[in-house]
Amino acid sequence: MTDKNGTRKDVTAVGSRVRITVSDADADAGGTVACAGVVIEDYQDMVIDRGSVGRDWAPVQRWAIALDDGRLIFANDDDLTAAE
């Protein structure tokens, strides 16, 4: 996770409240919306380098996040910020 000053902070863990910006299917021209949720799983042991699988689509994301609106999403450290 990166703080507002661009400093890396590894404080994400299962149970952490986080914020993430996701695509908004209802928005015109690919809009985004900030969402909050709780980290429910860490897949660090399953994350592999894209080059080692011979493809660049469907990459494994580290964190499973249950958003407050009921959706389940997956993200990497750089996609998350701590929820306040």
Query: Which domain range does residue 37 map to?
Result: 1-44+59-84
pLDDT in tens, 9-52: 557 899 999 999 887 776 666 788 889 999 999 988 877 776 67
Residue 19, domain member (yes or no): yes
Q: What is the domain count for the chain?
A: 1
pLDDT in tens, 42-73: 988 877 776 677 777 777 788 999 999 999 99
Residue 53, domain member (yes or no): no
Share of the chain above pLDDT 90, in %: 38
DSSP assignments along the chain, one per residue = -B-TTS-B-----TT-EEEEEEE-TTSTTS-EEEEEEEEEEE-GGG---GGGGT-SSSPPPSEEEEETTS-EEEE-GGGEEE--
Residue 18, domain member (yes or no): yes
Residue 68: CATH number of its domain? 2.30.30
Residue 52, domain member (yes or no): no
Least Cα distance to 35 among 16, 46, 44, 22 occurs for: 22
Neighbours of 9 (CB within 10 A): 12
Residue 12, domain member (yes or no): yes
